[in-house]
Structure 1
Amino acid sequence: MSSTTFPARTLTRPGSRRQAGFVIVELMVALVLGLLLIGGVINIFMTNQQTFRTNENMGRMQENARISFELMAREVRQAGGNLCGASLMANVLNNATTAWTSNWDAGVLQGFDNTQAATGIVATGTDVGQRVANTDAVRVLSGGMFDGVTITAHNAATAQITLNTVNHGFAPNNIVVVCDGESAALAKLTTAVSGTSAVVAYAVGVGADNNCSLGLNFPTDCSSAIGNSRAFQAGGFVTLMTASTWYVGNNAKGGRSLFRTNAAGTEEIAEGVRDMQLDYLQRNTATGNLDSNWVNASAITDWTQGATSQVVAVRLRLTLETQTAVGTNQQPIQRQLIHVVNLRNRPA
């Protein structure tokens, strides 16, 4: 019996296909889709990053505005004030008319328009700390910015004032405001001040003892060492006198900031303050009528306490900008904000 030979057959599973690699078209499509996906993710990341930078810069700008208005308005509001509410102020400082920090009679509030130089206070220029051209400035003197220490006794003959605590915080050469319900006085304390004593002293002389008279009564009399003397009543106060000038100056980063200068030096208050413009509202002391319009500093010729028209309100206009260029035009964002301050210590 003969045998029959059959050809070999390859068994395959139903539905199986022969595997093959990607063709060039499929690879290109996959690459394009991947690039589109990555581009979308990058775009979302960049958009979120820009939004974060914008919000961060706007937040900082708003915080700088809040600090600027709060600190400057607080001093402007208290211009010419004292803790006793006395309207009469004697000034026995030897340099009362030569130093801007103690020239009370020249005005407790004095503005400088963008065309006026603050001579003897701050120079206008491009150096760090100097005032920026075409920006306003304002000088403020006050005896009501700090908590005072209560007077328990005042010996006018020996020029010693007894306080209710040894922790008064006063130091030699401090300029202070002494007041009671009748009047107030500016004087410089002497080296007799002691941290372990409740007694502070002032004296006649030059240098550290920089007073023209021992008499602290109003009106000021510098014709003799005794001058116009009286004892301040128990229950009055002694407090530090403050003198400051606010202006927009050049900062160390090449931008602009709000600055405050006083007898101790100059300090930077807030970054990003591009411009400051101040307007003043006056009241006629004879009639009690308010002016109908706000005016700038150059329109006011008399800032003294005896002027017929007294400034009773100041309108602060600050232009602020973000620290980086986050605007849609690739420039810093600017905002102008306005705050009106009413002065508390004005003649009726």
Structure 2
Amino acid sequence: MTGFGLIELMIAMVLGLIVIGAAFAIFISSQNTYRSNEDLSRIQESARIAFELMSRDIRAAGGSACSNFSVVEGSGTVVERFRDEAVRGTTNADGVDSLRVVSGDDAAYRVLASTSGSVTLDPDELDAADDVFDVDDFILLCNARKTHVVQTTGVSGMTVSFATLPGGYNPTSDEYAPPGAVVLARLRDVNWFVGDNGRGGNSLFVSRMGGTPQEVAEGVRELDFEYLQAGSNAYVAAATVADWRNVIAVRMTMTLQGISADGEALTRTASNVVSMRGRTL
């Protein structure tokens, strides 16, 4: 009986090493492809979420639960921002764009009774007014004819109080507006921008009512906004918008960055156009 000689054994070992090496190379290649696809999917998902959240705010800019023909009454910074600059873009000295959007909150609550300085909410919709509203909140009180932006001075039971409306106006006693159409909602004031995330990269952030910025999507390197004005076919930068009341649509262009399978930067750019619902219907 004869066995393997040294030469045959060495040949078998070499062939085995070649097979193992080929299998290892295939494994590494598959792993790199998986990581690359996973990172690309993460970038695309970040873009989808970012566009969806920003689009919701932009569509609602300047809107409320009442008719678009409800006239915004009063004066002051917050009132004028809601009435005249419901959407407004800025570009800082470094060329970084941001977008501020003001609207009524999606959730609005029916008013059963009112005076010129308080409203009583429907208990079928809330257990108590302080479940939603707090003192010093900015709120929208509107019916089919008039909209008021006021700040709460008191919240008790189902009653929300505020400073007396101009002219002692009582929303549920307006003979030209149905009392059943009076609603109350919180004011939504958001600012979208890209900034340093503290981890060596940039992210998309949102600040609500001037509060602490919250990170929404990681890997957003740049975000540019352009604006379409009524009567025009061209989108323009914020600096060339003369009257923000004429803006009817916003185009967002976002550049996202990740790492490819070979360690190089993986960059994708996506755009989305959103019409302002209250100005295009």
Matched, 1:37 2:15: no
Q: Distance in 2 between matches of 1:326 and 1:86?
A: 48
Deviations 1:159-214 (A, max 9, x none): 11011124342121111000100011111111x302xx2111113xxxxxxxxxx1
Structure 1, unaligned runs of 5 or more:
1-17, 118-132, 204-213, 216-226, 284-289
Deviations 1:31-81 (A, max 9, x none): 211110110111111011112111211121111111100000100111100
Identical counterparts, % of pairs: 32
Deviations 1:97-135 (A, max 9, x none): 3x7x9733551111113xx35xxxxxxxxxxxxxxx433
Deviations 1:298-342 (A, max 9, x none): 111332x4xxxx0101111111122xx2155x3121111111100
Partners of 2:248 and 2:280 within 8 A in 1: no
Which of these residues, 312, 319, 329, is aligned with residue 255 of structure 2? 319
Equivalence map 1:1-348=2 (5 Å) = 18-23=1-6, 25-87=7-69, 88-91=71-74, 96-97=76-77, 103-105=81-83, 107-113=85-91, 116=92, 133-143=94-104, 145-156=105-116, 159-165=117-123, 166-167=126-127, 168=129, 169-190=132-153, 192-194=154-156, 197-203=157-163, 214-215=164-165, 227-233=166-172, 234-235=179-180, 236-262=182-208, 263-283=210-230, 290-303=231-244, 305=245, 310-322=246-258, 325-327=259-261, 330-346=263-279
Structure 1 residues 20 and 327: CA distance shift in structure 2, 3 A: closer
Q: Distance in 2 between matches of 1:252 and 1:91?
A: 42
Structure 2, unaligned runs of 5 or more:
173-178
Larger radius of gyration: 1
The amino acid of 1:138's aligned partner reads L
Partners of 1:257 and 1:272 within 8 A in 2: yes
Q: Distance in 1 between matches of 2:80 and 2:27?
A: 57
Q: Distance in 1 between matches of 2:279 and 2:266?
A: 38
The amino acid of 2:242's aligned partner reads T
Structure 1 residues 29 and 91: CA distance shift in structure 2, 3 A: farther
TM-score (norm 1): 0.72
Q: Distance in 2 between matches of 1:20 and 1:74?
A: 77
Q: Distance in 1 between matches of 2:60 and 2:82?
A: 14
| TM-aligned CA deviation for residue 90 of structure 1 | 2.3
TM-score (norm 2): 0.88
The amino acid of 2:170's aligned partner reads A
